[in-house]
A and B are shown apart, each in its own frame.
Chain A
Amino acid sequence: MSVTDLSARERSLLPTELPLALLDKNGIPVDDPALEMPADDVLLELHRRIVIGRRFDTQATALTRQGRLAVYPSSRGQEACEVGSVLALREQDWLFPTYRDSVALVTRGVDPVQTLTLLQGSWHLGYDPYAHKVGPQCTPLATNTLHAVGLAHAARLKGEDTVALVLLGDGATSEGDTHEALNFAAVWKAPVVFLVQNNGYAISVPMSKQSAAPSLAHKGVGYGVPSCLIDGNDPAAVYATVREAITAAAAGGGPALIEARTYRIEAHTNADDAGRYRDSDEVAAWLDRDPLDRIERYLTGRGLLDDARRAEIQAEAEDFAASVRDGMNAEPELDPADLFAHVYAQPTKALRDQAALLAEELSS
């Protein structure tokens, strides 16, 4: 059966065979793109935030080596997704991130020290989800997809113009919650955008052992969710696709699924040894498709970015990294009484007794 035998509805849901892109790996605009190139000021901001995000990521990795973080899952190489999707959000929209999306969080405006609180180990979550409309960073996989659908559906019931963007990885598409979330979102026409960052590996397990589907974007089709496949290392394409999906969802068009093909340059975390499951040639090939190089070459070629401006942005990134270092080098204020304070809205009698017991132990 060829694609032309499918109904218009079926065709409208299917991803393209090749990933959609606006810029090729050398930063040259592709011919006849299916997406709309973002405005110049957006492209410049994408570049600036990627530079800052990458510097944050290398700083967090360094802090982990110094023992300041218990663990850090790097998103190096995935910055087109981390930054492109977040800049596509409107102020009233919500972001539901995973543990690998710290760069997305700081791009959204979450304080970097609060972003790293979980990985520092001083509390499970450092930021107020309502302050920047960012759901709790999630270490179980795919569970956040359902939270995004619920929040978005409630917004619709209340008549609010809010879209939820949920980030997930290739491994998470095998979890049941992802499928329940796609199905609920489609049935309810909930304004949710699912962005799958397919970085090739779920810790060590490659795509070939994860899924037999033609693409992860195909997983939306069975639920009636329009799905597309994009080049996840093309910041312009990620921004344009997520923006379009948000606009459609806000207009009542329901959810969308986007598979962004990208690559995790670093190991899963500092505790992982990627040499056990992938070779350096593969990494080198992906370094050649670097999202920062790509947008930088494009902007430089257009005359929108010069050495002086690049140096300014780099200096800004260094200042940001210094503030992260300072923040993380300060000893976190820990209060053991907090252990009991937020289990329930009001501590129960049993918890008050246990808090008193601990306080007594600490004072003796």
Chain B
Amino acid sequence: MTTAVRNQELSMSAALNRALADALEADERVLVFGEDVGPLGGVFRVTDGLTARFGEHRVFDTPLAESGIVGTAIGMAMNGMRPVVEMQFDAFAYPAFEQITSHLAKIHNRTRGRVELPVVIRVPYGGGIGGVEHHCDSSEAYYTHTPGLRVVTPGTLGDAYQLLRDAIDSPDPVIFLEPKRRYWSKGPVALDRSGPAMDRALVRRPGKDVTLIAYGPMVATALETAAAAAEEGWDVEVVDLRSLSPFDDETVTESVRRTGRAVVVHEAAGFSGYGAEVVARVTERCFHHLHAPILRVTGFDIPYPPPKLEEHHLPGVDRILDAIARLQWDDEVVGFGG
């Protein structure tokens, strides 16, 4: 049984686990390895039961060395495998940075396309779990700034399954960012691949007044904000980017041209952050349709705070509502003032 198990009640961790299991089942070249991914099943249980089911030659623990994990994954991919490796936490992936940026991202280009590296690097990222330092970074911009990498992040249970399956099937290397604060959120999930392609964004909630652009852990926060905004009279559209690189200009541009206002939301620090790229691209394409500058609601420009202070740092419903209120509603008649 590999696909089309519909509408089970699962957590995001379990949906990711099903995606890995189905990929291992579908293609014997798929290997899963990293730190503690074997008998323990990973610290977030995403690889639970996979070693028992598929054997130690396909799902295995490695020595504790992230550059080693990514570097050997590159060699394995050169030899026809499709490695899916786990970095245990966002900030623990940094020792692998050279292998990711200088080799994984570039070898296809360096070899004029003769070598493909279908490697997926799963990275649990972001905060909101009460984690101590180095366990809560939002490291997406490091990867999106590197040509040759695809960077995707699921914001919903269904995408956790589908995007991971798509990432594993991709001929390009994919950084797969898992919003760790959503690992245990549960709901009915269709384990199928009927959604749009991996590089397309999705309108999660249609609206007329303003577009909230979000991804990963902030998709749920944006939807919550939209519900709260409705009570205050704003009809908010929520776009879930899904793919951070490449960027789906078409879907986002279409939405912002329609609403004329936009707010970009992410957990990472704002300065030189991913949101700056989004604002620039959307402004370049939608300038004459905008009624207000596009605003960003992001983490502060600080190292990730200790757990007892993280609530002040993370974008929440109120802060996003405040940003919506500042979108120069008073300058023209739109029906509702902020």
- Chain A residues at the B interface, C-beta cutoff of 8 Å: 123-125, 128-130, 135-136, 140, 143, 145-155, 157-158, 162, 164, 176-177, 180-181, 183-184, 187, 338, 341-345, 348-350
- With beta carbons under 8 angstroms apart, the residue of A150, A154, A348 that contacts B199 is A348
Q: How far is the CA of A157 from the CA of B79 in the complex (A)?
A: 10
Q: How far is the CA of A128 from the CA of B81 in the complex (A)?
A: 18
A180-B65, A184-B63, A184-B65 as given contacts; A151 in contact with B71, CB under 8 Å: no
Contacts of A153 in B (CB 8 A): 72, 75-76
When the two chains form their complex, are residues A349 and B246 in contact, meaning their CB atoms are under 8 A apart?
Answer: yes
The minimal Cβ–Cβ distance linking A11 to chain B, given in whole angstroms, is 25
**Closest chain B residue to A124, Cβ basis:** B110
When the two chains form their complex, are residues A177 and B67 in contact, meaning their CB atoms are under 8 A apart?
Answer: yes
List the 5 closest pairs (A to B, CB-CB), nearest first.
Answer: A150-B75, A146-B71, A150-B72, A180-B68, A154-B79
Report, as a range, how many residues of chain B touch the other chain: 35 or more
The minimal Cβ–Cβ distance linking A177 to chain B, given in whole angstroms, is 6
When the two chains form their complex, are residues A154 and B112 in contact, meaning their CB atoms are under 8 A apart?
Answer: no
The minimal Cβ–Cβ distance linking B239 to chain A, given in whole angstroms, is 17
Contacts of A157 in B (CB 8 A): 31, 57, 81
Contacts of B76 in A (CB 8 A): 150-151, 153-154
Contacts of A129 in B (CB 8 A): 78, 111, 114-115
**Closest chain A residue to B112, Cβ basis:** A342
The minimal Cβ–Cβ distance linking B54 to chain A, given in whole angstroms, is 12
- Report B102-113 CB contacts with A as 1/0, cut-off 8 Å: 110011111111
**Closest chain B residue to A192, Cβ basis:** B75
The minimal Cβ–Cβ distance linking A151 to chain B, given in whole angstroms, is 4
What number of residue pairs across chains A and B have CB atoms under 8 A from each other? 134
- With beta carbons under 8 angstroms apart, the residue of A146, A342, A350 that contacts B247 is A350
Contacts of A342 in B (CB 8 A): 108-109, 111-113
A-B contact pairs, 14 of them (CB 8 A): A136-B111, A143-B98, A145-B71, A146-B68, A146-B71, A146-B72, A151-B76, A153-B76, A181-B68, A181-B72, A183-B63, A184-B68, A187-B63, A344-B108
The minimal Cβ–Cβ distance linking A348 to chain B, given in whole angstroms, is 4
When the two chains form their complex, are residues A343 and B148 in contact, meaning their CB atoms are under 8 A apart?
Answer: yes
- Chain B residues at the A interface, C-beta cutoff of 8 Å: 31, 57, 62-63, 65, 67-68, 70-81, 95, 98-99, 102-103, 106-116, 147-148, 150, 170-172, 199, 246-247, 249
A129-B78, A153-B76, A157-B81 as given contacts; A147 in contact with B112, CB under 8 Å: no
Q: How far is the CA of A157 from the CA of B77 in the complex (A)?
A: 13
Contacts of A343 in B (CB 8 A): 108-109, 147-148
Q: How far is the CA of A167 from the CA of B256 in the complex (A)?
A: 54
Contacts of B111 in A (CB 8 A): 124-125, 128-129, 136, 342
Contacts of B63 in A (CB 8 A): 180, 183-184, 187
**Closest chain B residue to A131, Cβ basis:** B114
A153-B75, A153-B76, A344-B150 as given contacts; A128 in contact with B199, CB under 8 Å: no
**Closest chain A residue to B199, Cβ basis:** A348
When the two chains form their complex, are residues B75 and A152 in contact, meaning their CB atoms are under 8 A apart?
Answer: yes
Q: How far is the CA of A253 from the CA of B147 in the complex (A)?
A: 40
**Closest chain B residue to A139, Cβ basis:** B102
Q: How far is the CA of A123 from the CA of B113 in the complex (A)?
A: 12
Contacts of A176 in B (CB 8 A): 67, 95
When the two chains form their complex, are residues A177 and B71 in contact, meaning their CB atoms are under 8 A apart?
Answer: yes
When the two chains form their complex, are residues A350 and B79 in contact, meaning their CB atoms are under 8 A apart?
Answer: no
A123-B112, A183-B65 as given contacts; A350 in contact with B71, CB under 8 Å: no
The minimal Cβ–Cβ distance linking B152 to chain A, given in whole angstroms, is 13
Contacts of A338 in B (CB 8 A): 112
A180-B65, A184-B68 as given contacts; A136 in contact with B108, CB under 8 Å: no
Contacts of B172 in A (CB 8 A): 344-345
- With beta carbons under 8 angstroms apart, the residue of B77, B99, B113 that contacts A341 is B113
Q: How far is the CA of A106 from the CA of B320 in the complex (A)?
A: 61
Contacts of B65 in A (CB 8 A): 180, 183-184
- With beta carbons under 8 angstroms apart, the residue of A125, A158, A162, A177 that contacts B112 is A125
Contacts of A123 in B (CB 8 A): 110, 112
Of the candidates B79, B150, B172, the one having the most CB atoms from chain A within 10 angstroms of its own CB is B79
- With beta carbons under 8 angstroms apart, the residue of B71, B79, B102, B109 that contacts A181 is B71
The minimal Cβ–Cβ distance linking B86 to chain A, given in whole angstroms, is 16
With A124-B111, A152-B75, A157-B81 known, 6 other A-B pairs at CB within 8 A are: A123-B110, A151-B76, A177-B68, A184-B63, A345-B172, A349-B246
A150-B72, A341-B113, A344-B172 as given contacts; A184 in contact with B78, CB under 8 Å: no
A177-B67, A181-B68, A343-B109 as given contacts; A150 in contact with B62, CB under 8 Å: no
